[in-house]
Amino acid sequence: MTTSAWILLLTTWSLVAGFSVYLVIKVLTTPPRDDE
Amino acid sequence: MSAGTGTPGDGLIEPHGPSGLIKPHGPTGPIKKERWGTRVGLVLAVAGNAVGLGNFLRFPAQAAQNGGGAFLIPYLVSFVLMGLPLLWVEWGIGRHGGQYGHHAAPGMFARLGKAAWLKYVGVFGLFTNLTVAAYYCYIESWTLAYVWHSLTGTFAETSATKFFPEYLGTTLPSITSIPVEATCWFLATVALNTYILSRGLVKGVELAAKIGMPLLLVFGAILAVRGLSLGPGDPGVIESPLVGLNFVWQPQTSGLWNPSTWLAAAGQVFFTLSVGMGSIHCYAAYLRERDDIALNATTAGSVNEFVEVILGSAILIPIATAYLGLAAVQAETAGGSGFGLAFLTLPTLFTQWGPWLGPIAGAMWFGLLFFAGITSSLAMGQPVVAFLKDEFNTRQDVAALVFGLCTCVLGMMCVILYPGGTFNEFDFWTGTFSLIIFAFAEVIIFGWIFGIDRGWAEINKGADLKLPAFFKYVIKYVTPAFIGAVLLAALIKPSTGWGEAAHTLVTTGWWPFDPGSVIGKLIHVGTDWSWFDPKTGKVTPIFVEDLTRIVLLTVFALIAALVRKAWRGKVIVHDIQPGGEVKL
């Protein structure tokens, strides 16, 4: 693989994976609303 | 419950009740509302709805053919400016409608303004789901059949390139012959979908997502790791899988300045998120009034991107390249789709992985596609079931059965007339064009008729994630412009480059429509418009295409008539607040 392809792949994968994992953790750790 | 007490579900008032008194719509007494069992279940179900076969088969081919790594720039820009806003809008419309007891698009859209025509925009939210489910279940049934044939060793004896056309019936003497095995698998798939839907939201759809999505991720991770670790020592390997990965990711920056690249990226984002269908609205309608939608919607969208950008680019093309070489893979994906590689090539390639791992790998690959498919087809069934329950008080199991029967009837058209082109017609008109129209309409209605201030407040009500305020303006101006560009491109996509087409228009006065554009398809560009073969007298594919279009138009009209029937005699009270007093 070329260097530019590696850079793009690693940057995009890190960004997407990081964002997804952050959000999934936030969903799992946010307590349910108790307003009913 | 008295007629004067407003609670979710009684915003619709029937002025002509049996006793002549004004009475709340729906059963009297406390209404037991159907809700999601868990938040994780909801997010997995919505992510499962978005994750489909396109994540694994379409994305890598589209990326490779449209600038490689450079494709990711317009792709991510489109995701942020069009995909995410559309997700929030659809969740917002869905939760808002759900507070009034509507879990399908017609009722939800009727609640966005006072105009009577709004509910008919919601017809798209039923039509698209029903008709896409018909042919989507057919593809889903292929994956189920391939799981079976992978495990039983069919592809060790027969190449998939020989197996698949026979399976589809394209080798049969007539374009109206019935492929028996494909029909059986299709009926089994529809029966499974119907059964799951009949179990209800929590025990059916949510449970399927909780089982299917983790398995999909595990299968995908195993195949990606195994595929990328293939080396010269493995039997049959002629090239490094990294060459295939490079094919997907090598940036060709010239592509960035090509409008086609941007349109392809916007189109891919659009279709991968399953927006413009009406299924996200339906899922969101089962939320409570102050349940979060900002975090849930963003997370579901991000999980879809994780599957698409990471797993989608790491399996199909790298593995195929390792065994076939880059030139063959480039030729196979030239049309921007990996369907051929997935169903014609990969099953045979997996046999190289040995007598034990080969069948298991094949079953994992097609199992992964099956889980991606069924979590999406269930999301297509739920709005239809919900519409029948909400508006006609149909029982859950009966509503699921009606969906199953409709899917069967429409799907059998795709099965029998596949060689004549019915499948492609369904895919184009319902799985592509209808989605764009509906998404364009909904974002305009949400931002301009419901009002962006109310809309933004609706999206942020109970939010567990603070959304940047500039998205309010993105939803009102940028997202409609994005979808408008996609719609325009779909309508008049030229057979040449855009610049060349403009030049042709100026010099000859004629726009060179691509046969794949909406107008090109309508006027059958590049084909001899004849319904019967003059030599044999048999029907031609043109006849099948036109017949399919008439059937689809009829289905749309029938759904519109059902909506009209459901609303006849009902008065919508627009100033009612969920849980508040009705002001008659």
Q: Which of B217, B142, B557, B196 is nearest to B377 (CA)?
A: B196
Beta-bridged to residue B493, according to DSSP, are: none
CA angle (B293 as vertex; B563, B41 as ends), nearest 5: 90
Beta-bridged to residue B13, according to DSSP, are: B24, B571
Give pLDDT tens digits for B278-289.
999 999 999 999
d(C-alpha B126, C-alpha B131), whole Å = 9
Greater model confidence, B299 or B572: B299
Q: What share of chain A is helix, strand, coil (3-state, %, to 5)?
A: 75, 0, 25
DSSP 8-state code for residue B278: S
Tell me the CATH number of domain B37-424+436-491, given options 1.10.4160, 3.30.1180, 1.10.760, 3.40.1350.
Answer: 1.10.4160
* This prediction's pTM: 0.89
Give pLDDT tens digits for B473-491.
999 999 999 899 889 988 9
Q: Which of B359, B365, B360, B361 is nearest to B343 (CA)?
A: B365
Helix or strand (DSSP H, E) at B13: strand B12-14
B39 C-beta neighbours (distance < 10 Å), count? 20
* Mean pLDDT, rounded, for B344-359: 90
pLDDT higher than threshold 80 for residue B8: no
Phi, psi of B295 (to 5 degrees): -70, -45
Give pLDDT tens digits for B522-550.
988 888 778 888 888 888 888 999 999 99
Q: Which of B566, B571, B563, B565 is nearest to B24 (CA)?
A: B571
- C-beta atoms of A19 and B40 within 8 A: no
Q: Which of B473, B393, B427, B530 is nearest to B136 (CA)?
A: B427
Distance (Å) from the C-alpha of residue B411 to the closest C-alpha of chain A? Answer: 35
Give the CA distances from residue B99 to residues B3, B94, B96, B279, B451, in Å, rounded to whole numbers and listed in that order: 17, 9, 6, 17, 18
Which positions in chain A touch B306 (Cβ < 8 Å)?
Answer: 16-17, 20
Which positions in chain A touch B220 (Cβ < 8 Å)?
Answer: none
Q: Choose among B296, B306, B313: nearest Cβ to A20.
A: B306
pLDDT higher than threshold 80 for residue B10: no
Give pLDDT tens digits for B71-126.
988 999 999 999 999 999 999 999 999 999 999 999 999 999 999 999 999 999 99
Helix or strand (DSSP H, E) at B575: none
d(C-alpha B199, C-alpha B387), whole Å = 16
Residue B524: burial class (beta carbons within 10 Å; 0-12, 13-18, 19+): middle
Q: Which two tokens stand for residue B375?
A: 């979590």
Q: Choose among A6, A12, A33: nearest Cβ to B309.
A: A12
Phi, psi of B532 (to 5 degrees): -130, 140
Mean model confidence pLDDT for chain B: 88
* Mean pLDDT, rounded, for B511-515: 91
CATH 1.10.4160 range(s) for chain B read: 37-424+436-491
- C-beta atoms of A33 and B288 within 8 A: yes
Q: In this predicted structure, what is the pLDDT of residue A31?
A: 82
Strands B571-572 and B23-24: unpaired
d(C-alpha B361, C-alpha B300), whole Å = 27
- C-beta atoms of B290 and A32 within 8 A: no
Q: Choose among A2, A27, A36: nearest Cβ to B295.
A: A27
d(C-alpha B209, C-alpha B371), whole Å = 9
ipTM of the predicted structure? 0.95
SS (H, E, C) B355-389: CCHHHHHHHHHHHHHHHHHHHHHHHHHHHHHHHHH
DSSP 8-state code for residue B468: P
A29 shares contact with chain B (CB less than 8 Å): no
pLDDT higher than threshold 90 for residue B219: yes
- C-beta atoms of B39 and A19 within 8 A: no
Give the CA distances from residue B152 to residues B146, B189, B355, B365, B564, in Å, rounded to whole numbers and listed in that order: 10, 19, 11, 15, 51
B309 shares contact with chain A (CB less than 8 Å): yes
DSSP 8-state code for residue B539: B
Phi, psi of B513 (to 5 degrees): -65, 135
Give the CA distances from residue B260 to residues B63, B267, B416, B494, B525, in Å, rounded to whole numbers and listed in that order: 12, 10, 35, 11, 21
pLDDT higher than threshold 90 for residue B458: yes
A27 shares contact with chain B (CB less than 8 Å): yes
d(C-alpha B383, C-alpha B207), whole Å = 17
Three-state DSSP state, B571: strand
The edge-to-edge listing of strands for the beta sheet with B12-14 is B23-24, B12-14, B571-572
d(C-alpha B210, C-alpha B44), whole Å = 7
For testing contact with chain A, the best of B309, B321, B465, B467 (most A CBs within 10 A): B309
Buried b (16+ CB within 10 A) or exposed e, B473-506: ebbbebbbebbeebbebbebbbbeeeeebeebee
- C-beta atoms of B249 and A24 within 8 A: no
CA angle (B135 as vertex; B369, B330 as ends), nearest 5: 55
| One-character DSSP codes across B182-249 | HHHHHHHHHHHHHHHHHT-IIIIIIHHHHHHHHHHHHHHHHHHHHHHT--TTSTT--S-HHHHHHHHH
Give pLDDT tens digits for B197-213.
999 999 999 999 999 99
Distance (Å) from the C-alpha of residue B336 to the closest C-alpha of chain A? Answer: 20
| One-character DSSP codes across B419-435 | GGTHHHHHHHIIIIIHH
Q: Which of B83-87, B96-100, B420-424, B442-446 has the lowest mean pLDDT?
A: B420-424
- C-beta atoms of A8 and B465 within 8 A: no
Distance (Å) from the C-alpha of residue A10 to the closest C-alpha of chain B? Answer: 10
A31 shares contact with chain B (CB less than 8 Å): no
d(C-alpha B340, C-alpha B337), whole Å = 8
Q: Choose among A13, A16, A23: nearest Cβ to B299.
A: A23
A8 shares contact with chain B (CB less than 8 Å): yes
Which pLDDT tens digits describe chain A residue by residue (36 residues)?
899 999 999 999 999 999 999 999 999 998 877 654
Q: In this predicted structure, what is the pLDDT of residue B583?
A: 39
Q: Which two tokens stand for residue B353?
A: 């992985």
Within B445-533, residue ranges assigned H as helices are 452-460, 471-473, 479-492, 498-508, 518-522
For testing contact with chain B, the best of A12, A13, A21, A34 (most B CBs within 10 A): A12
- C-beta atoms of B250 and A4 within 8 A: yes
